[in-house]
Amino acid sequence: MLQSFSRNDIRVIVVTDGERILGLGDQGIGGMGIPIGKLSLYTACGGIHPASTLPIMLDVGTNNQQHLDDPMYMGWRHPRISDDQYAEFMDMFISTVKQRWPNVLLQFEDFAQKNATRLLQRYRDQLCCFNDDIQGTAAVTAGTLIAAAHAAGTRVRDQRVVFLGSGSAGCGIAEKIVALMMDDGLTEAEARSRVFMVDRFGLLTDDMTNLLDFQKNLLTAREAIRDWQVESNNISLLDVVKNAHPTVMIGVSGQPGLFSEEIVKEMHRHCPRPVIMPLSNPTSRAEAQPQDLIAWTQGAALVATGSPFAPVFWQGEQYDIAQCNNAYVFPGLGLGILACHARRVTEEMLMAASRSLAAQSPLVTTEKGGLLPPVDHIETVSRHIAFAVARAAIEQGVAPAMEDEILLARIEETWWQADYAPYRRAAL
């Protein structure tokens, strides 16, 4: 099928298998709208020519019984294929993409937790690819945290971070924050000791079993918390807040309302400027509402959300709520990769994107506004990120060397601007 596709100049692919669509779960081929939407953002925010993009939906069945029973369902009405069949199919798909478009950028999108990390680890050194749910989310969250630390007058290394939700997205963000802390002077052990992962069973600790591989480097040692005052062996989010005194709280649980008034006020007791990020989508699944967070902390909280929220007005002041959306990063990331002809996506490139985003925060540049730039500045944001990403790619040796002036020119040459074509009136 890919071999028969007529265009040879595809530069960006977004692919999904429809198994974990937003907070909706397994949508089968109904997930096709996600690759289309993501590529629209590459164009609108990152200047990528739409004719050079390709959305792909891999229909490997669905376990959504409602779809299986629906005679109008347009996908393959069959349960999802086995793990072995899936692995073989993905190998075939990636091999064909590499053969058909060897220089393409491929973005994995909305794959199930059990597959997302495994696919990234398997293919990241075979072609230029990244997982937006793991790496894109981590990059924009890290950029927001850098900006928040600056606004609070602290350093990244001084933060104590608690996560509610320890899936692939949460752990990806946590690993990025560990890397940030290490860049700021901490050892790896010191950095990991300042990160606490909480899921539905409580704080992840080193005496737990049935953990996923990507969680095992983010466990809290029982020995390190033996003096904590807790209510049970399963340590709750409130227990963590009471004992660890976090400065940052990040929600990626998909469950609304879990950042309760009691938890937020307890956090604020020990932290004058708490950074609180209820990142779950859509709006109905946010761990807290921004207006509540501002009120519960007497206007002190620095808030970023995963879904869009209007500004909050509290006691005569306006508080702009940053939307910690991947669209701040991946369009600029793609633009930079295409402009410099990067062969791989490295962690250093993603870190460069985070730092560039943080540097453009209104709270950093003017000490007013939200943690992230206004959405109507997204084209400028993407250009800055593209330059930072491309420069990092060159320094990492995954892109050819070039001077900054040439790189800037290539970014502008790569940028596609929608416009009306000139026309000449035909004779009557």
Q: 226 and 253 in contact (C-beta within 8 Å)?
A: no
Three-state DSSP class for residue 53 = strand
Which residue numbers belong to the known binding site for a divalent metal cation?
109-110, 133
Residue 267 tokens read as 């956090």
Give the separation between CA 227 and CA 373, rounded to whole angstroms.
Answer: 42
Q: Is 427 exposed, middle or buried (0-12, 13-18, 19+ CB in 10 A)?
A: exposed
Q: 152 and 273 in contact (C-beta within 8 Å)?
A: yes
Using the structure block, give the residue that is written with the tokens 């630390």.
149
Residue 55 tokens read as 């959305």
The DSSP-derived string for 322-333 is EE--GGGTHHHH
Q: Say which amino acid occupies 170.
A: G
Where residue 16 falls (left for φ over 0; alpha for ψ -120 to 50; beta otherwise) is beta
Cα→Cα distances 343→105, 115, 200, 394, Å:
9, 23, 39, 10
Give the separation between CA 303 and CA 293, rounded to whole angstroms.
Answer: 8
2: Cβ contacts below 8 Å, ≥ 6 apart: 96, 97, 100
Q: Say which amino acid occupies 30.
A: G
Three-state DSSP class for residue 79 = coil
Q: 214 and 117 in contact (C-beta within 8 Å)?
A: yes
Cα→Cα distances 311→179, 275, 305, 319, Å:
32, 17, 12, 6
Give the separation between CA 183 and CA 155, rounded to whole angstroms.
Answer: 11
Residue 2 tokens read as 């890919």
Q: Say which amino acid occupies 157.
A: R
Q: Is 167 exposed, middle or buried (0-12, 13-18, 19+ CB in 10 A)?
A: buried
Give the separation between CA 380 and CA 226, rounded to whole angstroms.
Answer: 49
Residue 316 tokens read as 């005569």
Which residue numbers belong to the known binding site for (S)-malate?
20, 281, 325
Which residue numbers belong to the known binding site?
20, 109-110, 133, 281, 325
